[in-house]
Structure 1
């Protein structure tokens, strides 16, 4: 196994919690109606395009034209986005910060809209600690597209064979591996600690 010299963290559901259901459990109390709305209107497929760089205004206008009766809740997705990220995963953050303190090269690679990432960075100061970050919306590419991994490696001088990526999505883990990186699926802090040990990364 090659020596790991670079560690790359995803953010959502690895370092901070993310759940669109949180504000909508209040906005649409009926479970069936809420599920329908999130599965048919403000879908994950719709939201990922903001991570690719589409503006919220354009995204909202598109959906409101298709679902005019849901205009208010379509706008509420961005309006109450802050409620979707209520807290950090302190144990995961502690692992990342310990790696940084020990001198490991740590960066972040995330699918995130530019404005909501700026909001997250203000709320969670630890997101400023790694050497740098690639935000998908800023470059118009999203994981698991191979190009975003290659862009991140080139931007931060990472040797793919010496890079370990940590993400909660299997398809993003597979995308990193296809780009020549090592990668592990994040489940919780305990399994992450075991993965780091397996790769010979001291904490």
Structure 2
């Protein structure tokens, strides 16, 4: 029996894409894609999500690619421009779960400790959660098993009693290895259908 629902945030409840910013910097799409593929990569960003400071991460790239200084600095100087807003259908699901009072609600997110306060100020629905565990604060991130266990232990949850929702199959697979039932999120309509089938909505 599901007693708690754990949400990922980015690309599930919050639309965050570096492309929103970098299409302004690189009008040529192929040039933008190459920059994000080879310089400000998702792997590089994940190190900040795991606790490395924004300054250290930025300085590392500046030393390697000084000719890209403006574009590299923009990643965090203009980070808010990567926010596309809430994902309405999923936020509505969260709202309905909160209103039902049947489940405890948590978030487990890979997010820099330095940028997460911006999201908290921007999105009121983050206040609906009973607890949020942020990778940059804890200095560990999904899909590390200890990150999931940290949330379970902190909020006195059993793996078999929770449902985890994440847009990254790597992360849902890791959760399932720990006995956590998971949904690989692709869009809000399908999520609603799956939750209705599970009698959660």
Interval of TM-score (by shorter of Structure 1 and Structure 2)? over 0.9
C-alpha deviations, 1:137-185, integer Å up to 9, x for none?
1111111111100001001111100110000000100011011100001
Alignment RMSD: 0.9
Aligned residue for 2:76, secondary structure, equals helix
Runs of 4+ in structure 1 over 4 Å off: none
Q: Is the 8 A contact 1:9 1:109 kept in 2?
A: yes
Report the counterpart of residue 69 of structure 1 in structure 2. Answer: 67
TM-score (norm 2): 0.97
Looking at structure 1, the residues matched to 105 and 47 of structure 2 have their Cα atoms a distance apart, in angstroms, of 27
C-alpha deviations, 1:85-132, integer Å up to 9, x for none?
121011110110110111121110000001211101100010111101
Q: Is the 8 A contact 1:153 1:160 kept in 2?
A: yes
Pick aligned residue for 1:22 from 17, 20, 23: 20
Pick aligned residue for 2:30 from 29, 32, 50: 32
**Which one has a larger percent strand, Structure 1 or Structure 2?**
2
Indicate the larger mover: 118-127 or 26-35: 26-35
1:200, CA displacement in angstroms? 2.3
Q: Kindly report which structure 2 residues correspond to 1:111-150, keeping only aligned pairs within 5 A, or say none.
A: 111-150=110-149
Looking at structure 2, the residues matched to 86 and 115 of structure 1 have their Cα atoms a distance apart, in angstroms, of 19
Structure 2 residue runs of 5 or longer lacking an equivalent are none
Report the counterpart of residue 109 of structure 2 in structure 1. Answer: 110
1:195, CA displacement in angstroms? 1.5
Indicate the larger mover: 25-34 or 112-121: 25-34
Q: Is the 8 A contact 2:167 2:184 kept in 1?
A: yes
Structure 1 residue runs of 5 or longer lacking an equivalent are none
